[in-house]
Structures are given as C-alpha cells and as structure tokens.
Structure 1
Amino acid sequence: MTHIFINIPVSDLERAKAFYTGLGAGINPQFTDENAACIVWDDNVYFMVLTKEYYSTFTDKQITDPRTQSQVLIALSRESRDDVDKIIEAGIANGGTEPTEAKDYGFMYSRDLEDPDGNGVEFFFMEPRAAEQGTEAYMAEQAQA
C-alpha cells in the first residue's frame, strides 16, 4: 500500500494546524512537534506542515513564496459537489482564500483554496460514471439524455 506525504513549508505552524483541522483533517501527535505537524486527511494521505526553517533542512534549493510562485498543484477529491463547497467555506472561515472562481466541467466540479501562507489545494468532485467510462463517453451520454 502506498501512503502519500506532502511536505508544505509554513510561516506559522500553529496557524497552519488550526487551518487544516478547521477543514476537518486530523493531527497525528506522534509526528507533531514544534517544527512540524502531521495533518491526516485519511488512512493514505497526509500533509506534513513544516516550519520554513525545518523544511529548509530537507533541501538545498530556495524555498519559493507560494503567494507569488507555484511549486506544486495539490488536488484532493471529495464525495460530492456539496462537500467541495463545504470545505471551501470552512477554509475561508479559517483564514484561507479562494483565488479563482469555481470550475464546472459537467463531469467534474472543482474549487481552489489557498491556506494562510498561500499554499494551494484544489478540492474536486468527479461524477463516478465519468471516472469509470472516461469523460468523453460520459459527456456524450449526458448530451443524449
């Protein structure tokens, strides 16, 4: 089984913990200290939010400013369009921002959220039949309905 750990540099660890738990994620205290927090989305997906100082011990490269530069695009699925809207609302209520308008492709609905440091996470819902059939077949089926 593969587990996904995404390392994210933050300027304020306590603020980052409050933000992500405000979205409904948990914290694994076994991997949380004054330098890092393990944000638990589910049994396979984790964010390691790390102070910038600690993050810099893992790389010799310059740490980008997520408010002005993009390093990675993270996308997490939700169970419904409503769940996408709810997590975005929770993110905004906990200090995040929505940098772009919602995108509705018919087979997929997505919204972007930036945490207080500017790190972006996209939340999306894809119609299960579109994922099974492929988007072209799904859209053709919808056009005939």
Structure 2
Amino acid sequence: MHNLVLCQDCLAVKPYTDARHLGDDKCECGGDFCGCKDCSNQAYQSQIPKQAAKAPKLGAAVSSMPLHDVTIPLDKPVTADFMAKHALDEWHHSMQMVKHHQRLGDKEGSAFFLNDAAEFRRIYVAFKRAIIEMGGL
C-alpha cells in the first residue's frame, strides 16, 4: 500500500488520511477521494499530475445523460481500463449490498444500492467504449 488517495473527479493525488478516504475531506475541485488499494497503487504507479484529465462525474450528471452523450476525456486506454475495473468492482460491491439489505427486509436500502449498482454499470460500459474508441489497450 502506498498511502495515497486519488480524486475520482480530477485525478489529483494526495497523501492518505482517513478523512479523505471516508469522504469527510474533499478535493479542491469538490470531488471525493478514494484510498482503496487499487486507487492508491494507480496513483503511485502512474504519478498522475494534480490536474491530469477530467474523468466523468460518478453521479447524477452521468446518469441523466444517454451514454452516447457521455464524454470520457482520457488520453490513455490504460487509465480508462483502470477506471472500468474500479467501476466494475464498485458494481459488485453495490450488488452485495443489495442482497444484504434484501435479507434484512430493507426495501429502501436495497433500492438505493440497486440504483448505485446501475450507475456503476453505466460508468463501466462508458469506459469500456472509450477503450475501444482509443484503439484498445
């Protein structure tokens, strides 16, 4: 582990803190940091500059657009592949949470995570399409 966090919006790299990883301390751009093992390793390996390329917002802005209108402003297929894998991991996690909340009988919680899973699936597909458009890995 490299003790770094990666902004999910502007790809800024900062030293790891629990506050950043848990979303209590936001990036200067307003984005959330992620300090999971994959993001920390990616930040370390690529030494991403503070204002590299803007990744799509992982929220309502993407979900309200048709996928053909979503722009993935990345110039490296390997970065898009990393983001696709991260979105797929988050999709799996959200689906596990759906099942957990269903077992508890919590329909509202289950619906929340099902919507969350759908967003990550849409993001995954958008990044995979970006990889194809950039000529593959």
Is the TM-score greater than 0.5? no
Higher strand share: 1
TM-score, normalization by structure 2: 0.29
Structure with higher Rg: it is 1
